A and B are shown apart, each in its own frame.
Chain A
């Protein structure tokens, strides 16, 4: 009985997590010619969002931001999901670790 309750709890928690994920706003960020497009992404304050990062280059790139506490490699010709927030209003810079001079951007939280 106790084990059945544990499984039921796990299933309910997973369903709740899935529902929460379904409500997560999605924003797209592209990588072309070692640039992040757009450079500025405006997202709502105090809200978790999903960034879908699409790398159109043939080489890999890494989305990195200490301010956002995220590091994620996106292989050439592929995409990756990065969850950020909830964040307080402000500006959170990020850059591409493979091409830090050109690949730069900011998450603007309003």
Chain B
């Protein structure tokens, strides 16, 4: 856990880096992360994103699936490893990448005006020399039954099969905590080739002591010509 001064300095470093980077190309529609870690928790996760008529890939349909296993390694750090599979309207399903991520909770929930966290992700394509590393600042603010979340990321891509470059990505979520089973939300995604907005439904069903199933599903629509017409997004998480 960081002190207030360290956290302020860290935020300045992240924000100072943002304007210097280009904005992320390709779709940046994915899960919106919250800056919290639940100690002792294990998680089995599947999530999928399917773009329809994406100008970036020139495919009518392109889907990305992630299957991950994660656990809280301390009170404030959660680590997860994924296998990433992709398929398109003109290509079959292949597992073509692996990904490691670590989420670091920086403040106690509700302690300050904003709750802070950092997300570190490293992805490597299996059959191509492409690496991708990102650092994302996670911010959340509770306003009564509403929660507003922002993910502000700086991404670096490098390797023999890709042009080395910095990019940025942003995801914003406004969520209404109606009930554990049903929380409506609105999400906005911004990247170089992404301007997308749409509704989501989130929920959680308790399966027993220390067991729960969380789910998210929704669609975001492209707001400009460089974004897929619409993108379906779904998450299933089994927590134990």
Binding site for B on A (CB under 8 A): 3, 6-7, 10-11, 13-15, 17-18, 21, 48, 60, 62, 66, 69-73, 75, 81-85, 97-98, 100
Contact = CB atoms under 8 A, between A and B. Distances in A.
Nearest to A97: B210
A14 B8 contact: yes
B108 A10 contact: no
A38 B210 CA distance: 23
Interface of B: 3-5, 7-9, 11-12, 16, 36, 38-40, 75, 108-113, 142, 147, 177, 179-180, 209-210
6 contacts: A6-B12, A14-B4, A73-B38, A75-B39, A83-B110, A100-B209
Interface of A is mostly: mixed
Contact of A82 (B8, B36, B40, B108): B108
A70 B109 contact: yes
Contacts of B38: 62, 71, 73
Contacts of A6: 12, 16
10 tightest A-B CB contacts, nearest first: A10-B8, A14-B4, A83-B110, A73-B39, A83-B111, A14-B5, A14-B8, A6-B12, A66-B180, A17-B112
B215 to A, nearest CB: 16
